[in-house]
Amino acid sequence: MKLAEFNNIDQNERCRLLMSCCFCSRWANKLSADEPFLSIQDVIEKASRCWSEMSEADILEAFSGHPIIGDVKDLEKKYGSSPMEEQSSVRLAKTRTLERLKNKNEEYLEKFGFIFIVFATGKSAEEMLGLLESRLENSRETELENGAREQLLIFTKRLRQLLEVA
């Protein structure tokens, strides 16, 4: 979608598109209302600024829009191919790695009350497992911050994909 088209669509449609980049209704509404957007970089800067103003509830809402890392069936059912591209290395992972990812994700969810969020693009399943295991040592507050930072990377990539397609 071209930036001019993004600026000119109905605010509800713009919110819907933004929700596909970050599943946080307050963020999408706030960002959608911050038009006109002068460039893709302007969208990303405004998106980041809006994200910095989100509450814990907003951040957790965004997390709830993600599949669990390594859950290939859930990814395909929920999202089709897009997140599968982000987690494409998971398809190539060994069964043992996938089992450990599943178990560690369950442990993470139980400990923190939300799923493990990581910018998966370009990371192997083994790398994500290593990150997951190391982050299990953190406090809930630290993990909320880590997840929010990863969420920003995720929606930045998705916004670029949305707006750079001619």
Annotated active-site positions, please? 66
| Cα separation, 36 vs 59, whole angstroms | 25
Query: What DSSP line would sit under 41-109, residue for residue?
Result: HHHHHHHHHHHHT--HHHHHHHHHTSPPTT-HHHHHHHHTTHHHHHTGGGGGS-HHHHHHHHHHHHHHH
